[in-house]
Amino acid sequence: MFKYATLNNISKAGTDRFDGNFEHTDNVDEAQGILVRSAKMHDMTFSDNLLAIARAGAGVNNIPLDRCAQQGIVVFNTPGANANGVKELVIAGMLLASRDIVEGVDWVRSQWNNPDIVADVEKQKKQFAGTEIEGKKLGIIGLGAIGVRVANAAVYLGMDVYGYDPYVGVDNAWHLSRKVTHVTDINEIYRNCDIITIHVPAMDSTKGYISREAIDMMKQGVIVLNMARDVLVDEKAMIAALDAGKVRRYVSDFPNPTVAGHRGCITTPHLGASTEESETNCAIMAADEMQDYLENGNIRHSVNLPDCDAGVCQYASRLTVIHRNVASMISRFSTIMGDAKINIAEMTNKSRGEYAYTIMDLDSAPTEDVIAKLQSAEGVIRVRLVK
């Protein structure tokens, strides 16, 4: 029996996916798995029982990834599960910024007691008319699950779409419309696009990605959207550009003291992935990932260890090993098994950076002594008998 804990409200559609081998616990220290959304885990101490953390969402900056890898804890996220919700907010943000809808609505609200509002509307509406997005050049930085959906939707809206992503995945490339122009120099987007939206993960290498220098290259009156993470944009430089009239609108899903309420900023209260549908999709994917790992040892959509899928074990036993990605590890495992006269029927090994993961399907069950020898081998982090 596996026990799982939840650090946030997780959609019942997700937790209902667990079969009879799982039960919920309020005691985090006895859980083999944790489902989490936004709860901050950096200051948490993890028990030896913990095997997996599944983030019901894409961003994992609330989880200590490297410390988890060092302790043999697999961290999952749910890429693409909330992509449609974010895509729709990006499209809405483009329309709100282009047509000056927010300012128009605010003006109407301010006239609630004006008996001449009908006549005054005809006098005032020109200042809120804005522009259409059809025919405009849209630059998308990051062609992951969200960026591809935004690109394809913008094509259908009649926009001229340019995408930048030096690491675009094969699956995302297949789903990208042929009408999207893939550029290899991000400066082409900065210099030529009327609207720019960013969709890259928040990492040390991407903080301040849209910098003062990038903003200086942009067209006069550009609209910039950021539904990914606030740290991706140098927001002090963005505010200066708004005040100078260089940037027409900055649309962000991350309210903070720098942008909230500032003229020219349209700031939504972190709504991108907060739809009922997105939360359901994320919870379902997170639960499925955790269940497959705990029951079968398969890793899908990990952010700190390599993905590795060997299906359902068809042999007597399955062992999994999280270890350092160094030479001779596989030969060590084979030697230990050979000395114990245990045949390895199938073996799958994947690596990612300094870590690696091995699944061994065996013709006979290993003894506790064999498992202990594997665990004590140099470079081994965690050994688990799955079956």
**Cα–Cα distance measured from residue 142 to residue 146, given in angstroms and rounded to the nearest whole number:** 8
Separation of first and last alpha carbons in the chain: 13
**Average pLDDT rounded to a whole number, residues 13-17:** 95
**Cα–Cα distance measured from residue 360 to residue 190, given in angstroms and rounded to the nearest whole number:** 49
Contact 224, 247 (CB under 8 A): yes
Kindly report the backbone phi and psi dihedral angles of residue 161, in degrees, each rounded to the nearest multiple of 5, phi listed first. -105, 135
**Cα–Cα distance measured from residue 161 to residue 163, given in angstroms and rounded to the nearest whole number:** 7
Please enumerate in sequence order all residues whose Cβ is within 8 A of that of 244, keeping only pairs 6 or more positions apart, or say none: none
Among 52-61, 78-87, 122-131, 147-156, the range scoring the smallest mean pLDDT is 122-131
Residue 202 has pLDDT above 90, yes or no: no
Decide: pTM greater than 0.75. Answer: yes
Q: What is the pLDDT of residues 130-165, one digit of tens each?
A: 999 999 999 999 999 999 999 999 999 999 999 999
Q: What is the pLDDT of residues 374-383, one digit of tens each?
A: 999 999 999 9
Alpha helix segments (H runs only) across 100-144: 101-110, 117-124
- Burial of residue 387 (CB within 10 Å: 0-12, 13-18, 19+) is middle
Please enumerate in sequence order all residues whose Cβ is within 8 A of that of 74, keeping only pairs 6 or more positions apart, or say none: 51, 52, 53, 68, 293, 299, 302, 304, 305, 322
Sequence letter at residue 90: V
**Average pLDDT rounded to a whole number, residues 200-218:** 93
Contact 126, 161 (CB under 8 A): no
In the chain, where do the E strands start and end?
A: 2-6, 22-24, 33-36, 52-55, 74-76, 137-141, 160-164, 181-183, 195-198, 222-226, 247-252, 265-267, 317-324, 344-352, 355-362, 380-385
CB atoms within 10 A of CB 128: 17
Calculate the alpha carbon distances from 293 to 47, 57, 262, 282 in Å.
18, 18, 46, 17
Q: What is the pLDDT of residues 313-352, one digit of tens each?
A: 999 999 999 999 999 999 999 999 999 999 999 999 999 9
The pLDDT assigned to 231 comes to 94
Among 161, 116, 109, which Cα is nearest to 135's? 161
The pLDDT assigned to 170 comes to 64
**The pairing of beta strand 22-24 with beta strand 74-76:** unpaired
